[in-house]
A and B are shown apart, each in its own frame.
Chain A
């Protein structure tokens, strides 16, 4: 046996070290997979669905149902959580359920908003499509939604179209019904809620 064919100790050690480290690295990837938590759905965090009613999200009337009487014509809007009408569970466990409800004379709306509204009431998502703040301010003189974080402006009479600032997409709306004076969801949100990036933008265009 010539000396050249003898595997040196160094090569064996290097190969086994390399293989060992490689395997350790791969198996740690398996653990790292658990770093991204699974989405946990509870009754409180289920998405808005058809038939849900709404309750006022803040202020002295917190928890009371949103009805025609609570919505002044021409704004301001009311922040509200959806509620399952059967179980009476308020779905405030999922921030993306936070909705803003506003009422105008239906003739002021553009065609699509008018189609999805009922008695002038329309429900929008309250989560800014820019970086996810709550669109919680109302410019009464211009009748415009303002997100206070980076000054995104949305026009509630044109399907919450962006009329200023950095948001990439309009606020999603849902098919709104009014039944027995109460505001009721006629669908889930028609486009993805919040700042979900490119995927949402592409889906919204489909």
Chain B
């Protein structure tokens, strides 16, 4: 390999090789969740770059093939008419779903195995930030096709942002370019969606991985049995890299089949924005907020000084998700350990943490169910009872089952 040799003599590649390319990757299927998140991000960037070639962030009405349409909507129709245009737009859309789903499952894996503890608190926080920013990025993408669904969904986001006491109007008007929809709205949201957030995500992903390489992966429990005290795993080059390469190609293959068979967000079906509201629900990761917003009666108002108030929109759209976020931020501080963690904790050894996680998942499920409040004919009283009792009951049942099956948990683990 004379090219390698030539580069090596100039860039000292073998030193880099020794330092990074031999990094050991533990072998466990749950360790691929973070990688799938990364693959989805790469696919989003690549398909997104393609979309920027022809997308026009403008709400101005133009004539497109004889019909008066907003320029953004017409440009998405044009993208759809290109060879594979619709499929690439679908892959972009589905990849956003997969990125959020994989990131959430990755977070769950970290949560139930206690990997947020010392020394990995920093990466827990970066990860939380990444998940939050990924959701915001997905949301800013909602508005861009500028169809009836896009406008309605973005309108609701504007209203939720504006409901924050004191600063809400400012936050929403800066994010949405004035009182949405204005002529400034799409350029603003487009800039945020394709420049600011992706660059921030990219920087944070880089940091997330550098810290992971520096601190080394947590080791699965089997590593302790086979070779206690040693780092066990396959090296990045060539083994992990080939698996990753294969998995990425597999990801692209599956996504292109999925995107080709299920065209995402067919804008002709929603039509350009009109006077009436289309009958739509938000994407699955917002359904629990959507459900809870429908459950909060308009009497839940707490006045604040200077004519401000905490209102139902703020409680459902900001406060409740914010409390869950705050709990995640406080977790490494509340459940701390003194020594550095080397091996993953087994969920079965930590019945309290595992059962609280199960309870939180049921909270999401019931909130999501409330998204069908009208269709299911459920009253607020029934839904609130379910939203409070089902998570508590499921956590309690899980805790009791785990205690009876696994006993008190592993006492030795916390010591070392």
Contact = CB atoms under 8 A, between A and B. Distances in A.
Interface of A: 35-40, 57-58, 79, 81, 95, 98, 126, 130-137, 147-151, 162, 165-168, 195-199, 201-202
Contact of A147 (B181, B277, B298): B277
Given A166-B297, A197-B168, A136 B313 contact: no
A134 B162 contact: no
B277 A134 contact: yes
A32 to B, nearest CB: 8
B155 A197 contact: no
Interface string B374-396: 10000000000000000000000
A136 B297 CA distance: 21
Contact of B307 (A126, A151, A167, A198): A198
Given A79-B276, A166-B297, 16 more contacts: A36-B174, A98-B275, A131-B155, A132-B156, A132-B158, A137-B277, A148-B277, A148-B278, A148-B279, A150-B290, A165-B298, A168-B298, A168-B301, A195-B313, A197-B308, A197-B309
A84 B179 CA distance: 23
Nearest to A136: B276
B297 A149 contact: no
B300 to A, nearest CB: 9
B373 A151 contact: yes
A166 B156 CA distance: 13
A130 B184 CA distance: 24
A98 B155 CA distance: 15
A161 B188 CA distance: 36
Interface residues of B, number: 45
Interface of B: 152, 155-156, 158-160, 162-163, 165, 168-170, 173-174, 177-179, 181-184, 274-279, 290, 293-294, 296-298, 301, 303-304, 307-309, 311-313, 316, 373-374
Contact of A199 (B178, B293, B301, B307): B307
A166 B290 CA distance: 12
A166 B293 contact: yes
A92 B105 CA distance: 45
Q: Is the interface of A mostly helix, strand, loop or mixed?
A: loop
Nearest to A129: B298
A14 B294 CA distance: 54
A133 B156 contact: yes
Q: Which of A57, A150, A167 has the most CB of B within 10 A?
A: A150
A40 B177 CA distance: 12
B156 A149 contact: yes
Contacts of A202: 307
B277 A131 contact: no
A89 B118 CA distance: 66
B159 A166 contact: no
Q: Which 9 A-B pairs have the closest CB atoms?
A: A136-B276, A131-B159, A57-B275, A37-B178, A198-B309, A58-B275, A79-B275, A37-B184, A35-B174
A131 B160 contact: yes
A40 B293 CA distance: 32
14 contacts: A38-B178, A58-B275, A79-B276, A130-B298, A130-B313, A131-B159, A134-B277, A135-B277, A136-B276, A149-B152, A195-B159, A197-B168, A198-B308, A201-B309
Nearest to B282: A149
A166 B301 CA distance: 11
Contacts of B155: 131-133
Contact of B170 (A36, A39, A198): A36
Contacts of B276: 58, 79, 134, 136
Nearest to A196: B162
B275 A37 contact: no
Contacts of A167: 298
Q: Which of A130, A137, A162 has the most CB of B within 10 A?
A: A130
A2 to B, nearest CB: 46
Contacts of A126: 275
Contacts of A130: 159, 298, 312-313
Nearest to B313: A131
B313 to A, nearest CB: 6
Nearest to A194: B159
